[in-house]
């Protein structure tokens, strides 16, 4: 299997095997548009579930009770704070987390004492945290500001590095694509949005950007001398770069997703919801969607943008005209796609074509 994968990667890099990813970009755009539309609808009609760090509220934690019954905590809160709807979560084997809205100090003290009595622990084993709505709003504002600053820096750095604003625009579209779909799935599952979730969202942006930059770098390398040749169009050379980095993208994604999957499983089944699941779910969804966008969104969208440039349009028309007139011969795959690479794959002229060294001693 290892040998087959290596051979497949070598053939992709040499152009012996080519998948028309860029040429079929409309198909991928339809899939991504459907995912984006579904995510936006989920966010509009269901919305996110903000934790107390953003919405404000009161949290109690009962540790070391040896009783894994959430109904006890629900009964305590319903008795002492009838207007509140408690969100009770089992953490690990027997730790209980109770979240309600903001209550006054006397009510909070009564709930802490009642929880200690109900679970048979000392009052010191009942933790208490209260966050006001003003603090939660400031945390949410800081998160949005951080995201905006990140996107601005990304656009500036990519524009300077690639010297092409269209690549920066395509990368930002891919980042927005990943973020919206990840947040939409997060809302669908109903997990609380915590600071750890925000960290996960920002992390996947960095991961997606890294993968996209690697592909763009190969595309730039392949198209550096575009107008000096008239065998291949910009789209065909960009598609070659995408195919050449395909194995690397898949390997990177698998290596990244395996530990994240392990963290997600451990958080869900061993440590309880809320311990690791908030950040691991964001990472898992984001990395999977980021792999899709780096392959099927970023480069195809960049090619669509570059296709409107007069220089690119003129070069493409000239290549197609020469190809139709028979002035330029190219290798055609079995599916009718242009194979960018050696005209005769595997052909080698032999040692006679190699340069000779003079006065070489045996």
Q: Which residue has the tokens 């451990």?
A: 266
Task: CATH 3.30.70.600 in the chain: give the residue spans.
Answer: 57-131
Topology classification of domain 57-131: Alpha-Beta Plaits (3.30.70)
- What CA–CA distance (Å, rounded) separates 348 from 277? 54
Range among 193-197, 232-236, 279-283, 347-351 with highest mean pLDDT value: 232-236
For the chain, give every residue range classified as CATH 1.20.1640.10.
Answer: 2-50+135-315
Least confident of 52-61, 139-148, 340-349: 340-349
Q: Does position 155 have pLDDT exceeding 90, yes or no?
A: no
How does residue 346 score in pLDDT terms, banded at 50, 70 and 90? Answer: very low
Topology classification of domain 2-50+135-315: Multidrug efflux transporter AcrB transmembrane fold (1.20.1640)
Q: Alpha carbon 42 to chain centroid distance?
A: 18
Q: Which two tokens stand for residue 199?
A: 């960290």
Q: What is the pTM of this model?
A: 0.79
The Cβ of residue 226 has, within 10 Å, a number of other Cβ atoms equal to 19
Query: What confidence score (pLDDT) does residue 341 get?
Result: 64
Each residue of 310-321: pLDDT tens digit? 999 998 999 888
| CA–CA dist 114, 306 (Å, integer) | 66
CA dist., res. 295 & res. 239, Å (int): 10
Q: Helical H runs in 46-104?
A: 52-55, 70-80
**Phi and psi (nearest 5°) for 192?**
-70, 140
Cα(140)–Cα(145) distance, rounded to whole angstroms?
9
- 78-100: per-residue pLDDT in tens? 888 877 778 887 776 677 888 88
CA dist 256 and 236 (Å) reads: 30
Backbone angles phi, psi at 215, to 5 degrees: -65, -45
Under the banding of pLDDT at 50, 70 and 90, the label for residue 292 is: very high
The helix (H) or strand (E) run that includes residue 234 is helix 234-244
Q: Residue 54: how many CA atoms within 13 Å on its side-chain side?
A: 16
Does residue 1 surpass a pLDDT of 50?
Answer: no
According to the model, what pLDDT value does residue 248 have?
86
Q: Identify the band that residue 343 occupies on the pLDDT scale cut at 50, 70 and 90.
A: very low
């Amino acid at each position: 299997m290892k040998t087959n994968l290596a051979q497949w990667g070598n053939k992709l890099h040499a152009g012996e095997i080519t998948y028309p990813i860029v040429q079929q970009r409309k198909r991928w755009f339809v899939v991504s548009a459907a995912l984006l539309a579904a995510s936006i609808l989920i966010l509009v009609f269901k919305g996110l579930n903000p934790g107390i760090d953003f919405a404000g509220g009161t949290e109690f934690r009962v540790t070391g009770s040896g009783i894994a019954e959430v109904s006890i905590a629900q009964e305590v809160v319903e008795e002492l704070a009838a207007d509140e709807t408690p969100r009770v979560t089992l953490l690990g084997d027997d730790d209980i987390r109770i979240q309600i809205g903001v209550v006054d100090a006397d009510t909070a003290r009564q709930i802490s004492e009642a929880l200690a009595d109900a679970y048979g622990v000392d009052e010191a084993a009942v933790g208490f945290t209260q966050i006001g709505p003003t603090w939660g709003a400031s945390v949410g504002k800081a998160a949005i500001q951080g995201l905006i600053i990140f996107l601005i820096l990304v656009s500036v750095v990519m524009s300077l590095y690639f010297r092409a604003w269209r690549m920066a625009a395509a990368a930002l579209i891919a980042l927005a694509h990943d973020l919206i779909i990840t947040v939409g799935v997060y809302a669908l599952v109903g997990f609380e949005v915590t600071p750890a979730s925000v960290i996960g969202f920002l992390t996947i942006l960095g991961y997606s950007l890294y993968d996209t930059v690697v592909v763009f770098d190969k595309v730039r390398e392949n198209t550096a001398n575009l107008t000096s040749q008239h065998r291949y169009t910009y789209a065909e050379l960009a598609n070659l770069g995408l195919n050449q980095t395909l194995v690397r993208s898949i390997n990177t994604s698998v290596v990244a997703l395996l530990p994240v999957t392990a963290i997600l499983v451990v958080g869900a089944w061993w440590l309880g919801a809320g311990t690791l699941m908030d950040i691991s779910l964001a990472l898992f969804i984001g990395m999977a969607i980021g792999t899709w966008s780096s392959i099927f969104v970023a480069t195809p969208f960049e090619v669509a943008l570059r296709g409107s440039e007069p220089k690119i349009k003129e070069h493409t028309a000239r290549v197609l005209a020469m190809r139709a007139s028979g002035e330029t011969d190219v290798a055609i795959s079995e599916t009718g796609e242009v194979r960018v690479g050696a005209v005769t794959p595997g052909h080698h002229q032999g040692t006679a074509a190699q340069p000779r060294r003079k006065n070489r001693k045996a």
